[in-house]
Structure 1
Amino acid sequence: MTGFIMKIILLPLVVAICSGIFDSFDLVAWYQPIGIGVLLAIIGHLMERAMLRRDTTVMTDIADFVTAALVVYFLTLFYDGARVTLWGAILTALVITLVEIPIHRWLVRSGRTERSTA
């Protein structure tokens, strides 16, 4: 649950920062990065619960990258006034993945990904 709370806070901030930095990704309303970030946090948390183990961290990082690129690209198309190119979605997904990598390592090292058998 701690990883989810971290994602709920960090991912909208990362999406908003990427929107300000990259010309190929532009969100115009305050709620747009929040919507994308919260959806990414929910999907990412579910993927971590299903996939993240000590031996699958790289695979989880790759899956996060692909998922983030798709979510950023397709969800932005539904927002009025927002615009994104495929390159903008890929760059944003790369930044999101770079933020996720230390979170995944911390979750694995702290044992928060292990399921109890009880």
Structure 2
Amino acid sequence: MTSLLMKIIICPLVVALSASFLANVHYANFIQPIIVGLILAVAGVAMEYLFLKEGRVWFSTLMDFVASVIIVYFVTNLFTTASATLFGALIIGFLLAVTEHFTHSYLVKSGKTRKTSMA
């Protein structure tokens, strides 16, 4: 739950701020980067459940980078009034991966990635 709340705030913020500074990414209105960011947040939490374990922080971060680039590029280009080049998506993916690395490190160190057993 901690991860989801963090991602719901961080992902849309990173996408919106990146779009305002990058010439390679354009959104016609403010709701578009929020939608992309929320999709990234949900995908990121799902990927943490699948991949994030102790000793796999870098692998999980790399997987988040790849997924972020794909999601930003394709979802942004689905909007008729928005656009993102592959380079722009790579930059946003990198920025998100940096934030994700710190999130993953925190989750592993705090023990929030351990699965509880039902036995």
TM-score (norm 2): 0.96
Q: State the match for 2:25 in structure 1.
A: 25
Q: Please name the residue that 1:111 is paired with.
A: 111
Q: What code does the residue aligned with 2:61 have? A: D
Name the Cα RMSD after superposition. 0.7
Provide Cα deviations, 1:36-74, integer angstroms capped at 9, x if missing partner: 110000010000011101111111000000000000000
State the shift of 1:30 in Å: 1.2
User: What fraction of aligned residue pairs are identical, expressed as a percent?
Assistant: 34
Aligned equivalents of 2:42, 2:2: Cα separation in 1: 13
- Distance (whole Å) between structure 1 residues aligned to residue 18 and residue 100 of structure 2: 15
Q: Alpha-carbon deviation of 1:99?
A: 1.0
1:98 matched to 2:75: no
Q: Is 2:36 the counterpart of 1:42?
A: no
1:65 aligns with 2:65: yes
CA distance in 2, matches of 1:51, 1:96: 17
State the distance in 1 between where 2:117 and 2:33 align. Answer: 38
Q: d(CA) in 1 for partners of 2:34 and 2:81? A: 16
**CA–CA distance in structure 1, aligned partners of residues 95 and 50 of structure 2:** 23
Match of 1:54, SS?
A: coil
Tell me how far apart the structure 1 counterparts of residues 78 and 45 of structure 2 sit (CA, whole Å).
23
The offset of 1:26, in angstroms, is 1.1
Deviation of 1:80 after TM superposition, in Å, equals 2.1
**5+ residue gaps, structure 1:** none
TM-score by length of 1: 0.97
Distance 2:63 2:12 in 1: 19
Quick check: 1:80 aligned with 2:70?
A: no
Structure 2: gaps spanning 5 or more residues: none
Q: Which amino acid aligns with 1:71?
A: I
Count of residue correspondences: 118
Amino acid at match of 2:101: I
Q: What amino acid maps onto 2:41 in structure 1? A: A
Stretches of 4+ moved more than 3 A in 1?
none
Equivalent in the alignment of 1:7: 7
